[in-house]
């Protein structure tokens, strides 16, 4: 890797990109092998070693303490540079202005949006005078416009002679920003690619060793029968300081049988709360939810599940699994009142076990057996188990939040197939995803959520991710029409 370049690292989920970077950053120790930095062998035991050697890392998940101020988050661990007071504040202002990051040091991090947090993360690294920057999937939560702004920042940094390691699953982005590309698979380097000559398709094939599947939906199966009707859903939350703010402001939507409704939006704009309100995990302040003609506005979550809502949660570890439970216990989870898991008030363990075996086989969950804990499965296999479980109860409505997040391309294709299959049989789907390609590819109808409101809708057949992105930042609203004038897409 050369100084003053952007070096991209691509690979399937779980290929070991993050792990490699963590080793480079001293957070994990390699079993063998060496790291050479500026011609010298670097011995990295802790992040402190890495920082000392001028390596900085922006992690895949934010590494910020919500209840500390931006300033405190930035100076933490680097107090010896400029203290924790006025001098540090001045330095932060200086850096922020120099790179146009617009960071305000005295806000609490919890008050910041995603893009602002991302900038705080970058500033954290710059503050330490890092010469080598590792960015692990920095764009995953950003809308295209924000991605562009980030790339502008990166180019600026590069021109100052910094080295940047950039990890992303969005191959288009990779090609646009990288000077060199390394592809890894199953923990080993499988090759290098030149971003000037390689195409997205070639790169993808290099990554997975096969063709890239597409989420494209072939034929429309939308019927005229309304399955889910949400009217005037409102939710306000009171935060720790007693300030009331709108989370959902008058959300109404309708999903028909056989329809996939996709909701686009930057994370934190109320999608999670919308899902939780429909699932009955949150009580909205106002609004009516009708499922297949029955008012379920006040029904408890269990009733809603029994009535035919399947749920693939956004965060499977928090909401979808008992990590220390066995696979068959996880198969019962969420459907404990339904067959084959129980008869009357008693569990039917034999039947539940048998059905778990079936799911494992049918959904290709890679596991040596059903007595192992969910924690010992890889993320993709955990997700397949969840999908299998939810589909086994023949839901009328499937709420799928980021169904393929953290899942490799093979499993991704499988999950898409299952959703399409069920949709053909009349399943209604509420799809939430940060992956705009997935959204556009799978949905029959698209809506955009911004600050708790559904601000725009679009036709997935014609819309581009960029156009969707502008609505997601609040720059556009109403019905989004595709204009060819936008020029060629990547």
Partner 1 sequence: MKKFDKDRLILGLAAPVLAIVAAFVLTALVLLATGKEPFHAFNVMFDKGLTSDSQVFILNKATPYYLAGIAVAIGFRMNLFNIGVDGQYRLAAFFAAVVGGAVNLPSVIQIPLIILTAMLVGAMWAGIAGVLKVTRGVSEVITTIMLNAIATAVIGYFMIPGRLAQLHADTNSVSTKEIPSSGHFFGFDMGTDGTIWGFIVIAVLVGVLYWFGLSRTRFGFDLRTVGRSESAAGASGVNVKRMIITSMLLSGAIAGLVGMPVLLNDAHQFSTEFPAGIGFTGIAVALLGRNHPIGIALAALLWGWLEIASSKLEFEDYDKEIVGVMQGIIVLCVVIAYEVVRRYGIKRQQQKVGEELAAQARTKQEAAA
Partner 2 sequence: MSATATPGKTAKSPAAKIRAKLTFSRVLLIIAGALILISAVRAITGANDMTSSGQISGALTMAVPIGLAGLGGLWSERAGVVNIGLEGMMMLGMFFGAWAGWQTNPWLAVLAGILGGALGGLIHAVVTVTFGVDHIVSGVAINILALGTTQYLAKIWFSMGKAAAAGGSPKQSPPMDDIKSFTVPGLSDWMHTLEGHHWFLISDIAGIIGGLVTDLSSLTLLAAALFVATFFVLWRTAFGLRLRSCGENPIAAESLGVNVYKYKYLAVIASGGLAGLGGAFLAIVPSHIYNEGQTGGRGYIGLAAMIFGNWRPGGLAMGAGLFGYSDSLQLRNGGETVHALLLALAVGLAALAAWRLYQKKYLPAVVGGAVAALLVVWYSLTDTVPDQLVGATPYIVTLLVLALASQRLRMPAADGQPYRKGQGK
Where do contacts with Mg ion occur on this chain (CB under 5 A)? Answer: 18, 60
Q: Which is nearer to ligand ATP, 335 or 405 (CB)?
A: 405
One character per residue 164-193, x = contact with partner 1 (rule: CB under 8 A)? ------------------------------
Please, which of residues 359-378 interact with partner 1 by CB under 8 A?
366-373, 375-377
Exactly one of 36, 80, 197, 224 binds ligand ATP (CB under 6 A); that residue is 80
Is residue 11 a contact residue for ligand ATP (CB under 6 A)?
Answer: yes
With CB under 5 to 8 Å by kind, the binding choice for 180 among Mg ion, partner 1, partner 2, none is none
Question: Residue 234 is encoded by which pair of tokens?
Answer: 């409102």
In degrees, rounded to 5, the angle at the alpha carbon of residue 471 between the alpha carbons of residues 468 and 475 is 140
Cis preceding-peptide flag for 340 (omega within 30 of 0): yes
Using CB under 6 A as the binding rule, whether residue 16 contacts ligand ATP is answered as yes
Q: Are 417 and 215 in contact (CB under 8 A)?
A: no
Degrees, nearest 5: CA angle 126-124-181: 65
Query: Nearest 5°: phi and psi at 367?
Result: -150, 150
Cα separation of 36 and 42, whole Å?
5
> CA end-to-end span of the chain, whole Å?
26
Shortest distance in whole angstroms from residue 354 CB to partner 1: 13
Residue 390: half-sphere exposure toward Cβ, Cα within 13 Å = 27
Q: Total binding residues for ligand ATP by CB under 6 A?
A: 13
Query: Within positions 375 to 394, which residues make up the interface with partner 1, using CB under 8 A?
Result: 375-377
Distance CA 369, CA 351 (A): 16
Here's the x/- map for ligand ATP, 348-377, by CB under 6 A: it reads as ------------------------------
Q: Is 462 helix (H, G, I), strand (E, B) or coil?
A: coil
Residues 290-349, interacting with partner 2 (CB under 8 A): 314-315, 317-318
Asked if 423 touches partner 1 (CB under 8 A), the answer is: no
Distance CA 201, CA 324 (A): 39
Element of type H or E holding 372: none
SS3 107: coil
Interface with partner 1 includes 312 (CB under 8 A)?
A: no
CA distance 55 to 164: 10
Q: Which does 346 bind (CB under 5 to 8 A by kind): partner 1, ligand ATP, Mg ion, none?
A: partner 1
What is the closest distance, in whole angstroms, from the C-beta atom of residue 151 to ligand ATP in the complex?
Answer: 20
Round to whole Å and give the CA distance between 63 and 67: 12
Work out whether 83 is an interface residue with partner 2 (CB under 8 A).
yes
DSSP 69: B
Answer yes or no: are the C-beta atoms of 25 and 55 closer than 8 Å: yes
Is 61 a binder of partner 2 (CB under 8 A)? yes
Could you say which of 12, 72, 259, 408 contacts partner 2 (CB under 8 A)?
A: 72
211 binds, among Mg ion, partner 2, ligand ATP, none (CB under 5 to 8 A by kind): none
Instruction: Tell me the site size for partner 1, rule CB under 8 A.
Output: 42
φ, ψ dihedrals at 190, nearest 5°: -105, -10
With CB under 8 A as the contact rule, the residue among 76, 212, 323, 351 that binds partner 1 is: 323
Residue-wise DSSP of 207-247? HHSSPPP-----S----S-EEEEEEEEEEEEE-TTS-EEEE
Q: Summarize as ranges the residues that interact with partner 1 (CB under 8 A).
A: 279, 281, 300-306, 311, 313, 318-325, 329, 332-337, 342, 345-347, 349, 366-373, 375-377
Q: Summarize as ranges the residues that interact with ligand ATP (CB under 6 A).
A: 11, 13-19, 48, 60, 80, 378, 406
Q: Summarize as ranges the residues that interact with partner 2 (CB under 8 A).
A: 18, 22, 25, 27-28, 46-48, 50-51, 57, 59-68, 72-73, 75-80, 83-84, 107, 110-114, 116-117, 124, 141, 240-243, 245-247, 267-270, 272, 314-315, 317-318, 451-452
């Amino acid at each position: 890797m050369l100084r003053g370049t952007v070096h991209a690292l691509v690979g399937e989920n779980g290929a070991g990109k993050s792990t490699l970077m963590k080793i480079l950053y001293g957070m994990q120790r390699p079993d063998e092998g060496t790291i050479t930095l500026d011609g010298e062998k670097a011995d990295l035991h802790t992040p402190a070693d890495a920082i000392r050697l001028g390596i900085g890392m922006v992690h895949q998940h934010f590494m910020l303490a919500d209840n500390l101020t931006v300033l405190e988050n930035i100076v933490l661990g680097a107090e010896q540079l400029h203290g924790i007071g006025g001098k540090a504040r001045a330095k932060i202002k200086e850096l922020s202005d120099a790179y146009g990051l617009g960071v305000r040091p005295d806000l609490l991090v919890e008050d910041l949006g995603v893009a602002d947090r991302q900038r705080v993360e970058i500033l954290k690294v710059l503050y330490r005078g890092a010469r080598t920057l590792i960015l692990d999937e920095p764009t995953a939560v950003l809308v295209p416009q924000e991605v562009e702004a980030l790339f502008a920042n990166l180019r600026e940094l590069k021109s100052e002679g910094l080295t940047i390691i950039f990890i992303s699953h969005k191959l288009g982005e990779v090609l646009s920003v990288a000077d060199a590309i390394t592809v890894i698979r199953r923990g080993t380097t499988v090759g290098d690619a030149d971003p000037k000559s390689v195409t997205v398709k070639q790169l993808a094939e290099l990554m997975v060793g096969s063709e890239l599947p597409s989420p494209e939906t072939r034929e429309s199966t939308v019927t005229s029968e309304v399955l889910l009707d949400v009217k005037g859903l409102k939710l306000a939350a009171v935060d720790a300081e007693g300030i009331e703010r709108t989370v959902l402001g008058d959300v109404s939507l309708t999903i028909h049988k056989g329809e996939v409704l996709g909701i686009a939006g930057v994370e934190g704009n109320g999608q999670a709360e919308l899902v939780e309100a429909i699932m009955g995990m949150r009580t909205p302040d106002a609004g009516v939810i009708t499922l297949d003609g029955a008012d379920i506005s006040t029904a408890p979550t269990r009733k809603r599940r029994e009535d035919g809502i399947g749920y693939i949660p956004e965060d499977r570890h928090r909401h979808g699994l008992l990590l220390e439970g066995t696979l068959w216990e996880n198969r019962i989870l969420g459907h404990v009142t339904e067959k084959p898991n129980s008869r009357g008030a008693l569990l039917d363990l034999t039947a539940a076990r048998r059905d778990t075996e079936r799911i494992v086989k049918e959904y290709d969950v890679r596991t040596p057996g059903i007595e192992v804990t969910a924690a010992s499965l890889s993320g993709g296999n955990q997700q397949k188990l969840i999908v299998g479980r939810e589909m086994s109860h023949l839901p009328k409505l499937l709420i799928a939040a980021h169904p393929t997040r953290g899942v490799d391309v093979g499993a991704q294709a499988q999950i898409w197939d299952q959703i399409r299959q069920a949709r053909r049989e009349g399943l209604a789907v509420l799809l939430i995803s940060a992956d705009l390609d997935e959204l556009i590819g799978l949905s029959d109808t698209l809506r955009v959520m911004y600050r708790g409101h559904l601000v725009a809708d679009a036709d997935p057949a014609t819309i581009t991710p960029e156009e969707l992105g502008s609505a997601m930042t609040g720059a556009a609203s109403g019905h989004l029409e595709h204009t060819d004038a936008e020029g060629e897409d990547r």
